[in-house]
Amino acid sequence: MTQKNNRVESVERALSILNAFKEGNAELSLAELATKTDLYKSTILRLIGSLELFGYIQKTAGGTYRLGPALFQLGGLYKQAFDIEAFVRPILAELVEHTGETAAYYIRQGERRQCLYRQNSPRSARHHLEEGILLPLDVGATGRILLAYEPGAEHDAEIRKQGFYVSLGERDPDVAAVAVPVLSRTGRIYGSLMVSGLRSRYHEAERQQALEALLVQANKISAKFDSLGI
């Protein structure tokens, strides 16, 4: 196996086998794969062994090859990701329009939380978030929500009882945030929805207004995710 410019030739060869299957060529023989990929049959057989193991290729009763179910599953996940984004982003925009503050959707990634989607406040002075950023779980509104609703969580019962969490300067002394869980119909946590702003203007009345909007929008996301079977 050789690697050039962060490219792995054996992986590219395996992908070329998958790319050989086109509309009208749902099943291919070993000879046809060799013709379409310019690979030796012995090389194809070795690569197909791994592709079969992971469900990307199937061998038919007639000895030909076809794409396996793993690709269907990945395709579903790919489509699902776009369905999620297309649904969540307008909700974040609504929250920003309603509150004037920054809105975000977080998920748990191992022992940290990740800002998956965000819509920053249009105000020049604001709490600015970057999508993809990883932050601690044990401080901040969304982190506390994600921890409180994890399966088997024995602490933070008060958070689960009230159904939201308010952070006042926990991670950043100048920032306040209100977060709510996004839960499945069975109570499994999908993620956490949040509105955050500068403490100098994001007072209790504004936070209460944001909380009411968050609860409505979190229910919408929950229903959508349930319908997608996430």
Which of 14, 44, 67 corresponds to the end of one domain?
67
In this structure, the answer to whether residues 59 and 104 fall within a common structural domain is no
In this structure, the answer to whether residues 81 and 112 fall within a common structural domain is yes
pLDDT in tens, 82-114: 678 889 999 999 999 999 999 999 999 888 999
In this structure, the answer to whether residues 45 and 79 fall within a common structural domain is no
Domain that holds residue 191: 74-228
At residue 6 the predicted structure's pLDDT band, cuts being 50, 70 and 90, is confident
Domain count, the chain: 2
Mean pLDDT of 193-215: 97
In this structure, the answer to whether residues 35 and 79 fall within a common structural domain is no
In this structure, the answer to whether residues 196 and 145 fall within a common structural domain is yes
In this structure, the answer to whether residues 79 and 128 fall within a common structural domain is yes
pLDDT value for 5: 65
In this structure, the answer to whether residues 61 and 78 fall within a common structural domain is no
Beta bridge partners of 217: none
pLDDT value for 24: 78
The answer on pLDDT for 4 being more than 70 is: no
Asked if 66 and 33 touch (Cβ cutoff 8 Å), the reply is no
CATH number at residue 160: 3.30.450.40
CA–CA separation, 79 and 49 (whole Å): 28
pLDDT in tens, 162-179: 999 999 999 999 999 999
In this structure, the answer to whether residues 191 and 220 fall within a common structural domain is yes
In this structure, the answer to whether residues 81 and 62 fall within a common structural domain is no
167: CB partners within 8 A, 6+ apart = 139, 140, 141, 144, 175, 176, 177, 178, 179
Mean of per-residue pLDDT scores for the chain = 91
Which of 67, 92, 107 corresponds to the end of one domain?
67
CATH number at residue 45: 1.10.10.10
Asked if 188 and 179 touch (Cβ cutoff 8 Å), the reply is no
- Of 105, 126, 93, 108, which Cα lies nearest the Cα of 194? 105
